[in-house]
């Protein structure tokens, strides 16, 4: 499935890209690149591994490393502290971080963050075991649900979806704050009714669950998504994305971004941006979600200032004046 980021993302807070002027800094002899990703069963991690391979092969004297994390919120906090050079994040988490939303896990505005690119949409995938009998959002009342790691981007998505459906965590019978793979393990053992996972289509954890258990991909209706508003978009999970899912299912999507911080040199961010877009085949080979990464969409909906290194690359490509 494809959709235009250009029109759909106009509602993002502060969507205009602001490029901050900065001089190019000479890179260190060894260019350390810590790639902040997510859980190993998600989509961020394999894409991060692909990025590290690209950087190792294409950026002279680079020393990339991949760090598994709790994803968006943790990644942004680590970046602000200078403990990474590039990170994956959901768009709503990025807005919360820039504005300093305490409820989302950000005690103060993270103003050192800088944008690199909009990449692909995360699909909000709500899955229940068929044996649980959960077929709709309303059926979750009194049931057990894994909402994602505490204060992760996925958990923020869960809160937003439940609120739009007129529910909250108190509506559930039990709440588990677990990464994707651990959620699936509990569902296999009949200790958990459902899991909400925010990831690219075909996420490994849900494929694993569907290979051994009958599942229900629970719809999140378009009218529910519209109650939340930007940056959430109504989309559809195509039929047969997962074993046993024979019909398309309505849900929500939130665009992912690659971000860095102001302390990373212009030259290094330029190279990180250029080498990724020059080697998208490597990204796609690591996960199908990367098929949605398009240079033409790279600046769409960016809610924070663009890093000068990324801006330099887009100027070369004629995408920025």
C-alpha distances (whole Å) from 281 to each of 36, 47, 208, 256, 271 are 21, 11, 25, 19, 17
- pLDDT(186) > 50: yes
Q: Please identify, among 221, 254, 287, the residue that sits at the C-terminal boundary of a domain.
A: 254
- Give residue 273's pLDDT band: very low, low, confident or very high (50, 70, 90): very high
pLDDT value at position 152?
85
Has residue 187 been placed in a domain? yes
C-alpha distances (whole Å) from 182 to each of 42, 43, 151, 186 are 11, 15, 16, 6
Has residue 307 been placed in a domain? yes
pLDDT value at position 153?
87
- Taking Cα atoms as reference points, which of 287, 299, 305 lies closest to residue 37? 287
Same domain assignment for residues 94 and 58 = yes
106/137 Cα distance (integer angstroms): 28
- pLDDT(26) > 60: no
Q: What is the mean pLDDT of residues 92-105?
A: 94
Residue pair 144/193 in contact by the 8 Å Cβ criterion: yes
Q: What pTM was computed for the model?
A: 0.78
Residue pair 50/102 in contact by the 8 Å Cβ criterion: no
Q: What is the mean pLDDT of residues 209-215?
A: 97
Residue pair 36/89 in contact by the 8 Å Cβ criterion: no
Residue pair 266/22 in contact by the 8 Å Cβ criterion: yes
Same domain assignment for residues 129 and 113 = no
Same domain assignment for residues 205 and 272 = no
Has residue 321 been placed in a domain? no
Domain boundaries, position 191 = 122-254
Has residue 245 been placed in a domain? yes
pLDDT value at position 200?
86
- Give residue 195's pLDDT band: very low, low, confident or very high (50, 70, 90): very high
**Residue 28 burial (CB count, 10 A):** 11
Q: Please identify, among 201, 225, 254, the residue that sits at the C-terminal boundary of a domain.
A: 254
Q: What is the mean pLDDT of residues 218-247?
A: 94
Has residue 59 been placed in a domain? yes
CATH value at residue 163: 3.40.190.10
Residue pair 254/90 in contact by the 8 Å Cβ criterion: yes
pLDDT value at position 9?
44
Same domain assignment for residues 272 and 185 = no
Q: What is the mean pLDDT of residues 242-262?
A: 97
Identify the sign of the CA torsion 137, 141, 142, 147: positive
pLDDT value at position 231?
84
What average pLDDT does the chain have? 91
pLDDT value at position 111?
98
188/245 Cα distance (integer angstroms): 17
Q: Please identify, among 254, 276, 297, the residue that sits at the C-terminal boundary of a domain.
A: 254
Q: What is the mean pLDDT of residues 203-211?
A: 95
Q: Which has the minimum average pLDDT: 82-86, 229-233, 274-278, 303-307?
A: 229-233
């Amino acid at each position: 499935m494809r959709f235009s980021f250009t029109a759909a993302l106009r509602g993002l807070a502060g969507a205009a890209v602001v490029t901050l002027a900065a001089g190019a800094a000479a890179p260190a002899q060894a260019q350390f690149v810590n790639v902040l990703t997510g859980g190993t069963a998600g989509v961020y991690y394999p894409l991060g591994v692909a990025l590290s391979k690209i950087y190792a092969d294409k950026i002279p004297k680079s020393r990339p490393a991949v760090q598994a994390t709790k994803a968006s919120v943790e990644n942004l906090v680590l970046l602000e502290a200078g403990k990474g050079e590039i990170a994956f994040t959901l768009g709503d988490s990025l807005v919360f971080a820039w504005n300093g939303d305490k409820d989302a896990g950000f005690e103060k505005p993270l103003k050192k963050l800088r944008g690199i690119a909009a990449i692909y949409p995360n699909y909000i995938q709500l899955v229940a075991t068929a044996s649980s009998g959960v077929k709709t959002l309303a059926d979750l009342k009194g049931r057990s649900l894994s909402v994602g790691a505490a204060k992760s981007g996925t958990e923020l998505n869960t809160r937003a979806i439940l609120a739009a459906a007129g529910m909250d965590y108190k509506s559930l019978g039990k709440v588990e704050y677990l990464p994707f793979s651990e959620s699936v393990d509990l569902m296999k053992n009949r200790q958990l009714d459902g899991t909400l996972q925010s990831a690219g289509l075909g996420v490994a954890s849900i494929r694993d669950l569907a290979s051994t258990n009958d599942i229900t991909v629970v719809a999140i209706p378009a009218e529910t998504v519209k109650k939340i508003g930007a940056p959430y978009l109504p989309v559809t999970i195509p039929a047969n994305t997962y074993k046993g899912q024979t019909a398309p299912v309505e849900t929500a999507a939130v665009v992912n971004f690659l971000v860095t911080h102001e302390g990373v040199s212009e030259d290094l961010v330029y190279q990180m941006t250029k080498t990724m877009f020059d080697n998208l085949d490597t990204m796609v080979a690591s996960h199908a979600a990367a098929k949605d990464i398009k240079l033409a969409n790279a600046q769409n909906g960016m809610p924070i200032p663009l890093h000068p290194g990324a801006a330099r690359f887009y100027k070369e490509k004629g995408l920025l004046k």
